[in-house]
Structure 1
Amino acid sequence: MSAIVMRDVRRAFDVVKGSAWRMNRRVQQFEALRGVNLDVSKGELFGLLGPNGAGKTTTIKILTTLLVPTSGEVYLNGLDSVRNPDQVRSRIGYVFGGDKGLYDRLSARDNLRYFANLYRIAPGQQRRRINELLEMLSLTDRQNDRVETFSRGMKQRLHIARGLLHDPDIIYLDEPTNGLDPLAARDVRDIVRRLKHSGKTILLTTHYMFEAEDLCDRLAVIEGGRIIAEGTSKDLGALANAGPVVRAEVSGGGAQALCRALEDRADVVNCHLEPLSGRELVTIRFAAQTEVEASRVVGEAAAADTGVKLLDLQLREPTLEDKYVTLVSQSRDKESA
């Protein structure tokens, strides 16, 4: 059974062009979402990936009832979120993290007590629920300390506790490990896994591809207000027709010319140049190509440019990040064609 359903959801905003106080003022419509369709099963951990400005935030705001779609339908556990926003809000939790959303002068326990009152949790249940969450998120020892004394990782755990106070069926995690150190980020990922194993439905947004691949059952890539790919990491690789990735170390000052020559090829998705000490690293993402053929193409392109000396060449299988970059690049090429 589906926990989250979006059917042909669109959201347009009015954008003012020119000065609001002058005669040349013009109002244009910008479509942030252009027919989004999603279907997330109950108990699934679903990842929503996309570049900045692709429509992720607008999608999350609609799913959390903070925005009403211009058109389309949204159902959360069978409830129409537009017609029944209050009922939907009692069943969802939203964790956005960062420094906002908590009261620094209050203790961790007082923060949770305050938000429990907003959720209208009965006084008799509050103490038990808050104790459970403080224990679950390893905050019991610091429960009476002011939040202003907490590290960023501890604040993030408190954000999660706040989002779980009313025991929601669906949890939205908006970049929950953004800005955390590696140890704190690993702790948060462990918490996310435990929530999934407890049967919660989770929609996760993140810019960390390794995190998405590690945690999510399925993924969707949004670009330009549309879902351009959906499925497992393996499915995305097939949809992108992603080939091997070649990393070539070169010297001689002709790396930019080499990149331009390779990007003219139809089987090359993109070519990235990174300066190193005394040399340059060229990363080439191929589509629909074998490792042997990809090596030959790069070797011949380097040999054809007398200004480039090939020092080292390595190949690897495409990661989720490579598949994601390929899908977004292909989508943008189609839009501009």
Structure 2
Amino acid sequence: MTAIEVRDLRRTYTSRSGWPRPRRVVTEAVRGVSFDVGRGELFGLLGPNGAGKTTTIKMLNTLLLPTSGTARVLGHDVAREPVPVRRRIGYVLGGDRGLYERLSALDNLRYFAELYGVDPREQRARIAELLDLVGLRGRERERVEGYSRGMRQRLHIARGLLHRPDVLFLDEPSIGVDPVAARDLRRTVADLRSDGTTVLLTTHYMAEADELCDRIAVIAGGTIRALGTPGELKSRLQERDVIDIEAFGADPTALERLRGLPGVRGVAAEERGAAQSVTVQTDRGADLHGQVLATLDGIRIGRVSTREPTLEDAYIAIVEGDAATSPATAADEVAA
């Protein structure tokens, strides 16, 4: 049975810029997105910054009206029937927003229980149940201002579950959280799925998505680029090897030279302090170590290793591969 149905969903923003002859700028944040999420499924929505993830979620939870297309949550149209949708969903944002820091966790939950219309006779038991679920039992009478980032995120999840939503939207819940707290959050999210809650998760952490999600949609430029299980997405790279290189001072020109090598299918670089992590995808069995290192001649190289592709590699290949054939921007200027 389907919990979320999305058909050709679009959202366009119009703004004005420039002086003295201002121009009207039309930005298509979401360009015809379609997907389904089953009841009890943990569904991931992945994409780079500005891809349309948060805009899509805000339309699904009735915070934004679609420009066109349709979306239904538990059978209710998000534009025409917002109140029934809101009664049956929860929304958890990443970061520090949405809590009252000078109140205790217990007082925060009591306050939001009243806002969500939780029966007063059930509030005490429900709050105790959620404190156990998110691992805050014994710390609930402390002010939130003294909580760590991970504790705040777990309190956010408890707040979003107070009214027993059938569908929970988690928008980057582990952003800025340390590895131990992130592990605890993943365990909490996995428990939600075990209890039958439908979860739509956005995250930039590929290992988190690989561990948790039943299926994943990759969105870029406002459109869905790929949809499938983590295994299905990784299988797109089954004919590739990955070379990981620790480099110091690899500039864009050097990376472009790498991309031009025969047998190289993708190159990505990530800054890690003074070093860079350069990932080179090659044809399976091509053995391009020598050519890759020769291309980086003059650049100080640290560790070099070869491995099997991961979900992160598949994600980069999907996003960058589409970027080569799709418009780079979603903004079109129209003379005012």
How far residue 81 of structure 1 moved from its aligned partner, in angstroms, is 1.4
Match of 2:260 in 1: 264
How far residue 262 of structure 1 moved from its aligned partner, in angstroms, is 2.9
Does the C-alpha gap of structure 1 residues 5 and 266 become closer, same or farther in structure 2, counting only changes over 3 Å? farther
Match of 2:17 in 1: 17
Match of 2:101 in 1: 104
What is the distance in 2 between the residues matched to 1:279 and 1:165?
45
How far residue 28 of structure 1 moved from its aligned partner, in angstroms, is 2.1
What is the distance in 2 between the residues matched to 1:133 and 1:310?
49
Match of 1:168 in 2: 165
Q: TM-score, normalised by structure 2?
A: 0.88
Matched, 1:320 2:320: no
How far residue 300 of structure 1 moved from its aligned partner, in angstroms, is 4.0
What is the distance in 2 between the residues matched to 1:274 and 1:31?
28
Q: TM-score, normalised by structure 1?
A: 0.88
8 Å contact 1:244–1:317 — kept in the other structure?
yes
Which of 49, 55, 60 pairs up with 2:57? 60
Matched, 1:125 2:125: no
Residue deviations 1:159-178, cap 9 Å, x none? 11100000000011111111
Question: How many pairs align?
Answer: 328
Match of 2:321 in 1: 330
Match of 1:6 in 2: 6
| Pair member with larger Rg | 1
Consecutive unaligned residues of structure 2, counting only runs of 5 or more, are 329-336
What is the distance in 2 between the residues matched to 1:301 and 1:130?
57
Match of 1:183 in 2: 180
SS in 2 for 1:140: coil
Q: How does 1:1-337 map to 2 (within 5 A)?
A: 1-19=1-19, 22=20, 24-239=21-236, 243-248=240-245, 259-265=255-261, 267-272=263-268, 282-286=278-282, 289-290=283-284, 292-293=285-286, 295=287, 297-300=288-291, 302=293, 314-335=305-326
8 Å contact 1:247–1:313 — kept in the other structure?
yes
Percent of pairs with identical residues: 50
Does the C-alpha gap of structure 1 residues 112 and 305 become closer, same or farther in structure 2, counting only changes over 3 Å? closer
How far residue 54 of structure 1 moved from its aligned partner, in angstroms, is 0.3
SS in 1 for 2:103: coil
Residue deviations 1:170-198, cap 9 Å, x none? 01111111111111111111100110000
Match of 2:334 in 1: none
How far residue 332 of structure 1 moved from its aligned partner, in angstroms, is 0.6
Residue deviations 1:125-169, cap 9 Å, x none? 212211211222222312222211222221111111100000000
How far residue 302 of structure 1 moved from its aligned partner, in angstroms, is 4.7
Bigger relative contact order (CA 8 A; separation at least 6): 2
User: Which has the larger helix fraction?
Assistant: 1
Consecutive unaligned residues of structure 1, counting only runs of 5 or more, are none
What is the distance in 2 between the residues matched to 1:247 and 1:228?
25
